[in-house]
Amino acid sequence: MKKRLQVAVAIIVNNDEQVLIARRHAHQHQGDLWEFPGGKREANETRLEAVQREIHEEVGLQVEQAEPLMQIIHDYPELQVELDVWLVSEFSGEATGKEGQPLVWCPLAELSAREFPAANMQIIERLTNLYLV
C-alpha cells in the first residue's frame, strides 16, 4: 500500500491579484518545481490549524482569514497526496522563505507558465476560473 500524505495548502492572494508561490528544493520530492506554500498536517490538528501553522513556519505569515477551496487526491508512483487547499483572504507579516526556499508573488495570469507538480494543476485551473474568466 502506498504512503498517503495529508497536506495543507494555502493559496495566498495579495491585493494586486498575485499569489505566493515557492520553489521546492532540488532534493525534495518534485524538486525544483514551484508550489503553493503548505505542508503535512499533524495528527492532532484541525485542517485550519494545519494551514495556519505551516504558513507561519514556512513563509512567516499569520493567516487571519481562510476558507476551504478544494480537496485533491493525487497518485504519484511512490505516494498518494491528499491536498487540503485553502484560500487565504487575510494575512499579516512579510513573506520570507524561512526554509531557504525562493518565494515569488506571481501574477495569477502567469501561474500556468510555471512548472508545478501534477497534483497542483487542478488548483491553477480553479484559480484561473475564479479570477481570470
120 known member of a binding site:
yes
15 known member of a binding site:
no
Q: How far is CA 106 from CA 8, 34, 46, 54, in A?
A: 20, 11, 29, 20
Identify which of 83, 78, 84 has the alpha carbon closest to the alpha carbon of residue 3. Answer: 78
C-alpha cell at 21: 508561490
129 known member of a binding site:
no
93 known member of a binding site:
no
126 known member of a binding site:
no
77 known member of a binding site:
no
36 known member of a binding site:
yes
25 known member of a binding site:
no
Distance, CA of 74 to CA of 80 (rounded, Å) = 6
Residue numbers in the known binding site for 8-oxo-dGTP are 24, 29, 35-38, 120
Residue numbers in the known binding site are 24, 29, 35-38, 58, 120
Residue numbers in the known binding site for Mg(2+) are 38, 58
